[in-house]
Chain A
Protein backbone atom coordinates (compact mmCIF):
# COMPACT_ATOMS: atom_id res chain seq x y z
CA UNK A 1 0.00 0.00 0.00
CA UNK A 2 2.76 2.40 0.98
CA UNK A 3 4.58 1.73 -2.26
CA UNK A 4 1.39 2.25 -4.26
CA UNK A 5 1.08 5.74 -2.79
CA UNK A 6 4.75 6.62 -3.33
CA UNK A 7 4.46 5.63 -6.98
CA UNK A 8 1.10 7.39 -7.24
CA UNK A 9 2.81 10.59 -6.08
CA UNK A 10 5.39 10.15 -8.80
CA UNK A 11 2.81 9.62 -11.51
CA UNK A 12 0.67 12.55 -10.40
CA UNK A 13 3.79 14.69 -10.92
CA UNK A 14 3.92 13.35 -14.45
CA UNK A 15 0.28 14.29 -14.93
CA UNK A 16 0.74 17.81 -13.59
CA UNK A 17 3.98 18.36 -15.52
CA UNK A 18 2.79 17.32 -18.95
CA UNK A 19 0.56 20.01 -20.39
CA UNK A 20 -0.60 17.71 -23.18
CA UNK A 21 -2.22 15.34 -20.67
CA UNK A 22 -4.20 18.18 -19.16
CA UNK A 23 -5.09 19.59 -22.57
CA UNK A 24 -6.31 16.24 -23.88
CA UNK A 25 -8.19 15.25 -20.79
CA UNK A 26 -9.68 18.62 -19.83
CA UNK A 27 -9.25 21.47 -22.30
CA UNK A 28 -10.43 19.55 -25.37
CA UNK A 29 -13.56 18.18 -23.67
CA UNK A 30 -14.35 21.69 -22.44
CA UNK A 31 -13.90 22.94 -26.01
CA UNK A 32 -16.23 20.24 -27.27
CA UNK A 33 -18.77 21.24 -24.67
CA UNK A 34 -18.62 24.90 -25.76
CA UNK A 35 -19.04 23.76 -29.35
CA UNK A 36 -21.98 21.51 -28.61
CA UNK A 37 -23.80 23.92 -26.37
CA UNK A 38 -23.26 27.20 -28.22
CA UNK A 39 -23.02 26.04 -31.84
CA UNK A 40 -25.31 23.03 -32.00
CA UNK A 41 -27.26 23.60 -28.80
CA UNK A 42 -29.91 25.86 -30.30
CA UNK A 43 -30.75 23.38 -33.04
CA UNK A 44 -30.69 20.43 -30.62
CA UNK A 45 -33.22 21.97 -28.28
CA UNK A 46 -36.11 21.01 -30.52
CA UNK A 47 -35.11 17.34 -30.69
CA UNK A 48 -34.37 16.67 -27.04
CA UNK A 49 -37.72 17.98 -25.94
CA UNK A 50 -38.60 20.23 -23.07
CA UNK A 51 -37.61 19.67 -19.48
CA UNK A 52 -33.83 19.40 -19.76
CA UNK A 53 -31.55 22.19 -20.99
CA UNK A 54 -28.96 21.19 -23.58
CA UNK A 55 -26.06 21.97 -21.21
CA UNK A 56 -27.54 19.44 -18.82
CA UNK A 57 -28.28 17.01 -21.60
CA UNK A 58 -24.79 16.77 -23.09
CA UNK A 59 -22.71 16.97 -19.89
CA UNK A 60 -22.55 13.20 -19.14
CA UNK A 61 -21.36 12.48 -22.68
CA UNK A 62 -18.59 15.07 -22.40
CA UNK A 63 -17.52 13.59 -19.07
CA UNK A 64 -17.24 10.12 -20.58
CA UNK A 65 -15.22 11.51 -23.48
CA UNK A 66 -12.85 13.19 -21.06
CA UNK A 67 -12.39 9.97 -19.10
CA UNK A 68 -11.85 7.95 -22.27
CA UNK A 69 -9.19 10.31 -23.57
CA UNK A 70 -7.52 10.55 -20.15
CA UNK A 71 -6.88 6.83 -20.01
CA UNK A 72 -4.76 6.92 -23.15
CA UNK A 73 -2.09 8.45 -20.91
CA UNK A 74 -2.30 5.53 -18.52
CA UNK A 75 -1.17 3.31 -21.36
CA UNK A 76 1.46 5.78 -22.53
CA UNK A 77 2.90 6.20 -19.03
CA UNK A 78 3.19 2.48 -18.52
CA UNK A 79 4.65 1.91 -21.99
CA UNK A 80 7.23 4.65 -21.44
CA UNK A 81 8.20 3.15 -18.08
CA UNK A 82 8.78 -0.20 -19.73
CA UNK A 83 10.72 1.28 -22.61
CA UNK A 84 12.89 3.52 -20.45
CA UNK A 85 13.76 0.71 -18.07
CA UNK A 86 11.99 2.27 -15.09
CA UNK A 87 9.58 -0.67 -15.04
CA UNK A 88 12.44 -3.19 -14.83
CA UNK A 89 14.08 -1.13 -12.13
CA UNK A 90 10.89 -1.12 -10.06
CA UNK A 91 10.30 -4.80 -10.65
CA UNK A 92 13.80 -5.63 -9.46
CA UNK A 93 13.16 -3.76 -6.21
CA UNK A 94 11.57 -5.05 -3.07
CA UNK A 95 8.14 -3.66 -3.90
CA UNK A 96 4.80 -5.43 -3.91
CA UNK A 97 4.35 -6.37 -7.57
CA UNK A 98 0.74 -5.20 -7.55
CA UNK A 99 1.83 -1.71 -6.45
CA UNK A 100 3.25 -0.90 -9.87
CA UNK A 101 -0.06 -1.48 -11.67
CA UNK A 102 -2.31 -0.18 -8.90
CA UNK A 103 -0.39 3.09 -8.68
CA UNK A 104 -1.10 3.61 -12.37
CA UNK A 105 -4.77 2.85 -11.86
CA UNK A 106 -4.95 5.19 -8.87
CA UNK A 107 -3.31 7.97 -10.90
CA UNK A 108 -5.90 7.48 -13.63
CA UNK A 109 -8.75 7.64 -11.13
CA UNK A 110 -7.51 10.83 -9.49
CA UNK A 111 -6.52 12.62 -12.71
CA UNK A 112 -9.87 11.55 -14.20
CA UNK A 113 -11.69 12.95 -11.19
CA UNK A 114 -9.82 16.25 -11.56
CA UNK A 115 -10.88 16.50 -15.23
CA UNK A 116 -14.46 15.68 -14.34
CA UNK A 117 -14.58 18.30 -11.60
CA UNK A 118 -13.11 21.01 -13.84
CA UNK A 119 -15.57 20.20 -16.63
CA UNK A 120 -18.54 20.25 -14.24
CA UNK A 121 -17.40 23.64 -12.90
CA UNK A 122 -17.21 25.04 -16.44
CA UNK A 123 -20.64 23.57 -17.14
CA UNK A 124 -21.97 25.34 -14.05
CA UNK A 125 -20.70 28.63 -15.43
CA UNK A 126 -22.40 27.78 -18.73
CA UNK A 127 -25.72 27.36 -17.00
CA UNK A 128 -25.71 23.72 -15.94
CA UNK A 129 -28.08 23.27 -13.02
CA UNK A 130 -28.89 20.10 -11.18
CA UNK A 131 -31.87 19.26 -9.07
CA UNK A 132 -30.12 16.16 -7.74
CA UNK A 133 -29.67 15.56 -4.05
CA UNK A 134 -26.43 14.50 -2.40
CA UNK A 135 -27.22 10.82 -2.80
CA UNK A 136 -27.83 11.13 -6.54
CA UNK A 137 -24.60 13.11 -6.96
CA UNK A 138 -22.69 10.46 -5.07
CA UNK A 139 -24.27 7.75 -7.19
CA UNK A 140 -23.35 9.58 -10.40
CA UNK A 141 -19.79 10.15 -9.15
CA UNK A 142 -19.53 6.50 -8.15
CA UNK A 143 -20.68 5.35 -11.57
CA UNK A 144 -18.16 7.61 -13.32
CA UNK A 145 -15.42 6.37 -10.99
CA UNK A 146 -16.32 2.77 -11.73
CA UNK A 147 -16.23 3.54 -15.46
CA UNK A 148 -12.78 5.10 -15.03
CA UNK A 149 -11.61 2.09 -13.03
CA UNK A 150 -12.75 -0.29 -15.76
CA UNK A 151 -11.06 1.75 -18.46
CA UNK A 152 -7.83 2.14 -16.49
CA UNK A 153 -7.45 -1.62 -16.24
CA UNK A 154 -8.28 -1.83 -19.92
CA UNK A 155 -5.52 0.73 -20.61
CA UNK A 156 -2.99 -1.35 -18.66
CA UNK A 157 -3.25 -4.07 -21.33
CA UNK A 158 -1.92 -2.06 -24.31
CA UNK A 159 0.46 -0.32 -21.90
CA UNK A 160 2.05 -3.67 -21.14
CA UNK A 161 1.93 -5.17 -24.62
CA UNK A 162 2.43 -2.28 -27.07
CA UNK A 163 5.46 -2.21 -29.35
CA UNK A 164 5.35 1.56 -29.93
CA UNK A 165 3.93 4.65 -28.22
CA UNK A 166 1.31 4.99 -30.96
CA UNK A 167 0.32 1.38 -30.41
CA UNK A 168 -0.15 2.03 -26.73
CA UNK A 169 -2.77 4.74 -27.02
CA UNK A 170 -4.67 4.17 -30.27
CA UNK A 171 -7.06 1.83 -28.45
CA UNK A 172 -8.60 4.90 -26.82
CA UNK A 173 -9.73 6.45 -30.13
CA UNK A 174 -12.74 4.19 -30.63
CA UNK A 175 -13.61 4.71 -26.97
CA UNK A 176 -13.57 8.48 -27.42
CA UNK A 177 -15.79 8.07 -30.44
CA UNK A 178 -18.39 5.90 -28.72
CA UNK A 179 -20.30 8.83 -27.16
CA UNK A 180 -21.08 10.08 -30.68
CA UNK A 181 -22.76 6.77 -31.47
CA UNK A 182 -24.92 6.96 -28.39
CA UNK A 183 -27.59 9.13 -26.89
CA UNK A 184 -24.93 11.39 -25.39
CA UNK A 185 -25.46 14.36 -27.70
CA UNK A 186 -28.61 13.57 -29.68
CA UNK A 187 -31.54 11.28 -28.99
CA UNK A 188 -31.19 7.94 -30.75
CA UNK A 189 -34.73 8.18 -32.17
CA UNK A 190 -33.65 9.94 -35.36
CA UNK A 191 -30.82 7.50 -36.20
CA UNK A 192 -31.10 4.86 -38.97
CA UNK A 193 -32.33 1.53 -37.63
CA UNK A 194 -29.02 -0.37 -37.59
CA UNK A 195 -27.13 2.49 -35.98
CA UNK A 196 -29.93 2.97 -33.52
CA UNK A 197 -29.74 -0.70 -32.53
CA UNK A 198 -26.04 -0.29 -31.84
CA UNK A 199 -26.42 3.04 -30.07
CA UNK A 200 -29.11 1.80 -27.75
CA UNK A 201 -27.19 -1.29 -26.67
CA UNK A 202 -23.66 -0.07 -26.28
CA UNK A 203 -22.33 0.67 -22.79
CA UNK A 204 -21.85 4.42 -23.21
CA UNK A 205 -25.57 4.96 -23.79
CA UNK A 206 -26.57 3.24 -20.57
CA UNK A 207 -23.92 5.10 -18.56
CA UNK A 208 -24.88 8.43 -20.12
CA UNK A 209 -28.58 7.80 -19.47
CA UNK A 210 -27.88 6.71 -15.90
CA UNK A 211 -25.73 9.74 -15.07
CA UNK A 212 -28.14 12.08 -16.85
CA UNK A 213 -31.07 10.62 -14.97
CA UNK A 214 -29.30 10.95 -11.64
CA UNK A 215 -28.16 14.55 -12.20
CA UNK A 216 -31.51 15.71 -13.54
CA UNK A 217 -33.67 13.99 -10.98
CA UNK A 218 -35.31 11.69 -13.52
CA UNK A 219 -36.05 8.02 -12.94
CA UNK A 220 -33.20 5.96 -14.36
CA UNK A 221 -33.16 2.84 -12.28
CA UNK A 222 -33.02 0.45 -15.20
CA UNK A 223 -30.16 2.35 -16.88
CA UNK A 224 -28.23 2.47 -13.61
CA UNK A 225 -28.31 -1.31 -13.30
CA UNK A 226 -27.34 -1.84 -16.93
CA UNK A 227 -24.54 0.71 -16.60
CA UNK A 228 -23.33 -0.98 -13.41
CA UNK A 229 -23.33 -4.35 -15.11
CA UNK A 230 -21.29 -3.01 -18.05
CA UNK A 231 -18.76 -1.28 -15.81
CA UNK A 232 -18.30 -4.18 -13.41
CA UNK A 233 -18.13 -6.67 -16.27
CA UNK A 234 -15.55 -4.62 -18.14
CA UNK A 235 -13.53 -3.91 -15.00
CA UNK A 236 -13.37 -7.55 -13.95
CA UNK A 237 -12.49 -8.79 -17.45
CA UNK A 238 -9.84 -6.12 -18.04
CA UNK A 239 -8.37 -6.66 -14.55
CA UNK A 240 -8.09 -10.41 -15.04
CA UNK A 241 -6.49 -9.99 -18.47
CA UNK A 242 -4.08 -7.31 -17.31
CA UNK A 243 -2.97 -9.44 -14.35
CA UNK A 244 -2.41 -12.39 -16.60
CA UNK A 245 -0.27 -10.41 -19.03
CA UNK A 246 1.65 -8.88 -16.14
CA UNK A 247 2.44 -12.33 -14.76
CA UNK A 248 3.98 -13.31 -18.07
CA UNK A 249 6.64 -10.66 -17.55
CA UNK A 250 8.67 -12.89 -15.28
Chain B
Protein backbone atom coordinates (compact mmCIF):
# COMPACT_ATOMS: atom_id res chain seq x y z
CA UNK B 1 0.00 0.00 0.00
CA UNK B 2 1.43 3.37 -0.92
CA UNK B 3 2.33 5.70 1.87
CA UNK B 4 -0.25 8.48 1.74
CA UNK B 5 0.30 11.58 3.83
CA UNK B 6 -3.21 12.81 3.08
CA UNK B 7 -6.14 10.76 1.98
CA UNK B 8 -9.80 11.65 1.60
CA UNK B 9 -12.67 9.49 0.45
CA UNK B 10 -16.00 10.82 -0.65
CA UNK B 11 -15.48 13.90 1.51
CA UNK B 12 -18.62 16.01 1.81
CA UNK B 13 -19.33 19.40 3.31
CA UNK B 14 -22.34 21.67 3.09
CA UNK B 15 -23.00 25.05 4.60
CA UNK B 16 -26.76 24.97 5.11
CA UNK B 17 -28.20 24.54 1.57
CA UNK B 18 -24.87 25.22 -0.09
CA UNK B 19 -23.28 21.89 -0.97
CA UNK B 20 -19.61 22.80 -1.32
CA UNK B 21 -17.84 19.43 -1.37
CA UNK B 22 -19.84 16.67 -3.05
CA UNK B 23 -17.50 13.74 -2.57
CA UNK B 24 -13.85 14.68 -2.83
CA UNK B 25 -11.26 11.94 -3.25
CA UNK B 26 -7.65 12.91 -2.75
CA UNK B 27 -4.48 10.95 -2.16
CA UNK B 28 -1.28 12.82 -1.50
CA UNK B 29 1.97 10.90 -1.27
CA UNK B 30 4.47 11.50 1.49
CA UNK B 31 7.05 14.09 0.51
CA UNK B 32 5.33 15.47 -2.56
CA UNK B 33 4.03 18.90 -3.34
CA UNK B 34 0.43 18.58 -4.32
CA UNK B 35 -1.61 21.42 -5.77
CA UNK B 36 -5.34 21.69 -5.35
CA UNK B 37 -6.41 23.89 -8.18
CA UNK B 38 -9.77 25.58 -8.30
CA UNK B 39 -11.41 28.88 -9.02
CA UNK B 40 -12.66 31.22 -6.31
CA UNK B 41 -15.38 29.53 -4.24
CA UNK B 42 -14.55 26.03 -5.45
CA UNK B 43 -14.09 24.79 -1.89
CA UNK B 44 -10.31 24.81 -1.55
CA UNK B 45 -10.28 26.55 1.83
CA UNK B 46 -13.11 24.33 3.03
CA UNK B 47 -11.05 21.24 2.12
CA UNK B 48 -7.95 22.59 3.84
CA UNK B 49 -9.96 23.53 6.93
CA UNK B 50 -11.37 20.03 7.20
CA UNK B 51 -7.91 18.50 6.79
CA UNK B 52 -6.49 20.80 9.46
CA UNK B 53 -9.33 19.91 11.90
CA UNK B 54 -10.88 23.39 11.91
CA UNK B 55 -14.08 22.17 10.26
CA UNK B 56 -15.97 18.93 10.60
CA UNK B 57 -17.02 17.19 7.37
CA UNK B 58 -20.64 16.14 6.83
CA UNK B 59 -19.66 12.86 5.27
CA UNK B 60 -16.85 10.73 3.96
CA UNK B 61 -13.47 10.25 5.59
CA UNK B 62 -10.23 12.15 5.67
CA UNK B 63 -6.93 11.22 7.22
CA UNK B 64 -3.61 12.94 7.63
CA UNK B 65 -0.51 10.86 8.36
CA UNK B 66 -2.85 7.96 8.95
CA UNK B 67 -4.87 9.79 11.61
CA UNK B 68 -8.56 10.41 11.12
CA UNK B 69 -9.25 14.15 11.12
CA UNK B 70 -12.43 13.77 13.20
CA UNK B 71 -11.67 10.95 15.61
CA UNK B 72 -7.95 11.67 16.05
CA UNK B 73 -7.98 15.44 15.63
CA UNK B 74 -5.35 15.91 18.32
CA UNK B 75 -2.89 13.57 16.58
CA UNK B 76 -3.56 15.30 13.27
CA UNK B 77 -2.86 18.71 14.81
CA UNK B 78 0.43 17.35 16.09
CA UNK B 79 1.50 16.41 12.55
CA UNK B 80 0.45 19.42 10.53
CA UNK B 81 0.91 23.08 10.08
CA UNK B 82 -1.64 25.42 8.55
CA UNK B 83 -0.79 28.50 6.56
CA UNK B 84 -4.18 29.98 5.92
CA UNK B 85 -5.42 32.01 3.00
CA UNK B 86 -4.46 35.25 4.74
CA UNK B 87 -1.11 35.63 6.46
CA UNK B 88 -1.71 34.76 10.08
CA UNK B 89 1.08 36.67 11.74
CA UNK B 90 0.82 38.65 14.95
CA UNK B 91 1.24 42.24 13.83
CA UNK B 92 1.97 43.53 17.32
CA UNK B 93 4.96 41.24 17.67
CA UNK B 94 8.23 41.42 15.75
CA UNK B 95 9.06 38.79 13.15
CA UNK B 96 11.43 37.17 15.61
CA UNK B 97 8.87 37.13 18.41
CA UNK B 98 6.33 35.55 16.08
CA UNK B 99 8.63 32.63 15.36
CA UNK B 100 9.72 32.30 18.99
CA UNK B 101 6.04 32.18 19.99
CA UNK B 102 5.31 29.29 17.66
CA UNK B 103 8.53 27.53 18.66
CA UNK B 104 7.55 27.72 22.33
CA UNK B 105 4.02 26.54 21.63
CA UNK B 106 5.38 23.60 19.66
CA UNK B 107 7.85 22.81 22.44
CA UNK B 108 10.92 23.18 20.19
CA UNK B 109 14.11 22.86 22.31
CA UNK B 110 15.86 26.17 21.50
CA UNK B 111 13.24 28.72 20.45
CA UNK B 112 15.68 31.64 20.07
CA UNK B 113 18.16 29.71 17.94
CA UNK B 114 15.36 28.24 15.88
CA UNK B 115 14.06 31.74 15.21
CA UNK B 116 17.48 33.01 14.22
CA UNK B 117 17.98 30.22 11.72
CA UNK B 118 14.54 30.45 10.24
CA UNK B 119 14.71 34.25 9.87
CA UNK B 120 17.92 33.82 7.95
CA UNK B 121 16.50 31.09 5.77
CA UNK B 122 13.55 33.26 4.77
CA UNK B 123 15.53 36.44 4.23
CA UNK B 124 13.97 38.23 7.17
CA UNK B 125 17.05 38.85 9.29
CA UNK B 126 17.08 42.57 8.51
CA UNK B 127 13.45 43.02 9.51
CA UNK B 128 13.61 40.53 12.38
CA UNK B 129 13.09 43.13 15.09
CA UNK B 130 10.47 45.23 13.34
CA UNK B 131 6.85 44.71 14.16
CA UNK B 132 5.19 42.36 11.68
CA UNK B 133 2.45 44.87 10.87
CA UNK B 134 5.11 46.98 9.16
CA UNK B 135 5.97 44.12 6.77
CA UNK B 136 5.01 44.12 3.09
CA UNK B 137 2.58 41.46 1.90
CA UNK B 138 5.38 39.28 0.59
CA UNK B 139 7.43 39.57 3.78
CA UNK B 140 4.40 38.76 5.92
CA UNK B 141 3.74 35.71 3.78
CA UNK B 142 7.33 34.53 4.13
CA UNK B 143 7.15 35.02 7.89
CA UNK B 144 3.86 33.14 7.85
CA UNK B 145 5.46 30.20 6.05
CA UNK B 146 8.51 30.38 8.33
CA UNK B 147 6.19 30.08 11.34
CA UNK B 148 4.51 27.08 9.76
CA UNK B 149 7.81 25.27 9.34
CA UNK B 150 8.90 25.65 12.95
CA UNK B 151 9.11 22.27 14.62
CA UNK B 152 9.33 20.37 11.31
CA UNK B 153 5.69 19.34 10.82
CA UNK B 154 5.19 16.35 8.51
CA UNK B 155 2.44 17.99 6.48
CA UNK B 156 2.04 21.63 5.57
CA UNK B 157 -1.07 23.23 4.16
CA UNK B 158 -0.54 26.36 2.13
CA UNK B 159 -3.87 27.95 1.25
CA UNK B 160 -3.41 30.27 -1.72
CA UNK B 161 0.09 31.25 -0.65
CA UNK B 162 0.54 33.97 -3.29
CA UNK B 163 -2.95 35.42 -3.72
CA UNK B 164 -2.80 39.18 -3.38
CA UNK B 165 0.98 39.41 -3.77
CA UNK B 166 2.71 41.46 -6.43
CA UNK B 167 4.65 39.48 -9.06
CA UNK B 168 8.01 40.01 -7.39
CA UNK B 169 6.79 38.85 -3.99
CA UNK B 170 5.08 35.91 -5.68
CA UNK B 171 8.39 34.80 -7.18
CA UNK B 172 10.07 35.06 -3.78
CA UNK B 173 7.37 32.90 -2.18
CA UNK B 174 7.68 30.39 -5.03
CA UNK B 175 11.40 30.17 -4.39
CA UNK B 176 10.68 29.54 -0.73
CA UNK B 177 8.26 26.73 -1.54
CA UNK B 178 10.58 25.18 -4.12
CA UNK B 179 13.31 25.03 -1.52
CA UNK B 180 11.04 22.99 0.73
CA UNK B 181 10.58 20.32 -1.91
CA UNK B 182 12.66 17.23 -1.39
CA UNK B 183 13.10 17.99 2.31
CA UNK B 184 10.71 15.18 3.17
CA UNK B 185 7.84 17.45 4.07
CA UNK B 186 4.48 16.95 2.35
CA UNK B 187 2.87 20.09 1.05
CA UNK B 188 -0.72 20.54 0.00
CA UNK B 189 -1.08 23.91 -1.61
CA UNK B 190 -4.20 25.43 -3.05
CA UNK B 191 -4.19 27.94 -5.82
CA UNK B 192 -6.31 29.67 -8.40
CA UNK B 193 -3.26 30.18 -10.58
CA UNK B 194 -2.55 27.50 -13.09
CA UNK B 195 0.96 28.74 -13.52
CA UNK B 196 1.58 28.37 -9.82
CA UNK B 197 0.51 24.74 -9.90
CA UNK B 198 2.69 24.15 -12.95
CA UNK B 199 5.67 25.77 -11.27
CA UNK B 200 5.50 24.14 -7.88
CA UNK B 201 3.56 20.92 -7.82
CA UNK B 202 4.52 17.32 -8.44
CA UNK B 203 0.89 16.47 -8.89
CA UNK B 204 -2.23 18.51 -9.42
CA UNK B 205 -5.89 17.93 -8.69
CA UNK B 206 -8.60 20.16 -10.10
CA UNK B 207 -11.50 20.87 -7.78
CA UNK B 208 -14.61 21.96 -9.61
CA UNK B 209 -18.29 21.70 -8.84
CA UNK B 210 -17.56 20.04 -5.51
CA UNK B 211 -15.58 17.18 -7.01
CA UNK B 212 -12.09 16.39 -8.21
CA UNK B 213 -12.54 16.43 -11.96
CA UNK B 214 -8.94 15.69 -12.88
CA UNK B 215 -5.94 14.42 -11.02
CA UNK B 216 -2.37 13.62 -12.00
CA UNK B 217 1.00 14.99 -12.97
CA UNK B 218 1.21 17.95 -15.28
CA UNK B 219 2.04 15.60 -18.16
CA UNK B 220 -0.96 13.43 -17.44
CA UNK B 221 -3.25 16.42 -17.31
CA UNK B 222 -1.91 17.70 -20.58
CA UNK B 223 -2.87 14.40 -22.22
CA UNK B 224 -6.48 15.06 -21.23
CA UNK B 225 -6.46 17.97 -23.57
CA UNK B 226 -8.64 17.16 -26.58
CA UNK B 227 -6.23 16.18 -29.36
CA UNK B 228 -8.35 16.97 -32.41
CA UNK B 229 -7.62 20.61 -32.68
CA UNK B 230 -5.98 22.37 -35.57
CA UNK B 231 -3.70 25.17 -34.59
CA UNK B 232 -1.74 27.54 -36.75
CA UNK B 233 1.27 27.41 -34.49
CA UNK B 234 2.49 24.20 -33.04
CA UNK B 235 2.51 24.51 -29.28
CA UNK B 236 2.08 22.55 -26.10
CA UNK B 237 -1.21 23.17 -24.35
CA UNK B 238 -0.73 25.15 -21.17
CA UNK B 239 -2.35 23.94 -18.04
CA UNK B 240 -4.76 26.83 -18.39
CA UNK B 241 -6.08 25.37 -21.61
CA UNK B 242 -6.32 21.94 -20.04
CA UNK B 243 -8.25 23.43 -17.19
CA UNK B 244 -10.66 25.33 -19.38
CA UNK B 245 -11.15 22.34 -21.64
CA UNK B 246 -12.05 20.10 -18.72
CA UNK B 247 -14.35 22.58 -17.10
CA UNK B 248 -16.00 23.28 -20.43
CA UNK B 249 -16.53 19.55 -20.94
CA UNK B 250 -18.05 19.18 -17.48
CA UNK B 251 -20.34 22.11 -18.09
CA UNK B 252 -21.73 20.55 -21.25
CA UNK B 253 -22.37 17.22 -19.58
CA UNK B 254 -24.34 18.77 -16.69
> Which positions in A face B, CB cutoff 8 Å?
3, 6-7, 10, 13-14, 17-18, 84-86, 88-95, 249-250
Query: With contacts A91-B54, A250-B53 known, is A18 near B80, CB below 8 A?
Result: no
Contacts of B55 in A (CB 8 A): 250
- Chain B: residues with Cβ within 8 Å of the partner, total of 29
Contacts of A93 in B (CB 8 A): 77, 81, 102, 105-106
Provide the B70-86 mask, 1 if CB < 8 A to any CB of A, else 0.
00001001101110111
A10 touches B74 (CB 8 A): no
Of the candidate stretches B89-97, B195-203, B242-250, the one touching chain A is: B89-97
Contacts of A85 in B (CB 8 A): 84-88
B56 touches A86 (CB 8 A): no
Main secondary structure of the interface of A (DSSP, over half): helix
Query: With contacts A6-B104, A92-B80 known, is A13 near B86, CB below 8 A?
Result: no
How many residue pairs link A and B with beta carbons under 8 A? The number is 63
> Which positions in B face A, CB cutoff 8 Å?
49, 52-56, 74, 77-78, 80-82, 84-93, 97, 101-102, 104-106, 147
What residue of chain B has the Cβ atom nearest to residue A96's Cβ? Answer: B74
Main secondary structure of the interface of B (DSSP, over half): loop
Query: With contacts A91-B54, A94-B106, A250-B54 known, is A10 near B90, CB below 8 A?
Result: yes
**Complex alpha-carbon distance, A91 and B73, angstroms:** 11
A17 touches B90 (CB 8 A): no
**Complex alpha-carbon distance, A85 and B52, angstroms:** 13
A122 to chain B: closest CB distance in Å?
A: 27
**Complex alpha-carbon distance, A93 and B55, angstroms:** 14
**Complex alpha-carbon distance, A17 and B92, angstroms:** 7
A94 touches B74 (CB 8 A): yes
Query: With contacts A85-B84, A85-B86 known, is A6 near B105, CB below 8 A?
Result: yes
Contacts of B93 in A (CB 8 A): 10, 13
